[in-house]
């Protein structure tokens, strides 16, 4: 049992509609694998785009290891010049008063999420 709406639409088809319908109903043209080649190239490009940023991050990190270690060594030498009065005040702070590492991590994560969301909203 067909509904009346479908029957009405079939009655309203003109010559051009029937011609288009017959064109799309025909078999596809053999392309000797051209479609598959295009699809594989598109997929390959997508994978290249997905992997390029992590690979660049790893390569950049590997390059930055030596300057970072030099920076840390230089900063450790700078802490030698901190006055004794300042270092004694830091040592006198009890560990109970310092925030736990988990709280610092949560706060840093919230700040990063806030920055990411604000940047997404700008775009």
pLDDT, tens digit (0-9, with 9 covering 90-100), for 8-40:
556 677 888 888 888 888 777 788 888 889 999
Phi, psi (degrees; rounded to nearest 5) at 93 = -75, 125
The model carries a pTM of 0.37
Domain with 80 in it: 4-122
pLDDT, tens digit (0-9, with 9 covering 90-100), for 44-73:
999 999 999 889 999 998 998 888 888 888
Considering only residues 10 and 78, tell me which one the structure prediction assigns the higher pLDDT: 78
Half-sphere exposure at residue 32, Cβ-oriented, CA atoms within 13 angstroms? 0
The total of structural domains in the chain comes to 1
Radius of gyration of the chain (CA): 33
pLDDT at 25: 80
């Amino acid at each position: 049992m067909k509904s009346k709406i479908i029957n009405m639409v079939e009655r309203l088809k003109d010559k051009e509609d029937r011609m288009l319908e017959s064109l799309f109903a025909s078999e596809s043209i053999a392309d000797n694998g051209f479609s598959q080649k295009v699809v594989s190239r598109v997929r390959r490009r997508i994978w290249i785009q997905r992997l390029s940023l992590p690979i660049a991050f790893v390569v950049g990190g590997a390059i930055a290891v030596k300057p970072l270690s030099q920076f840390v060594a230089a900063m450790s030498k700078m802490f030698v010049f901190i006055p004794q009065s300042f270092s004694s005040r830091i040592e006198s702070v009890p560990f109970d008063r310092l925030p736990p590492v988990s709280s610092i991590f949560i706060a840093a994560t919230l700040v990063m999420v806030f920055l990411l969301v604000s940047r997404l909203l700008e775009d």
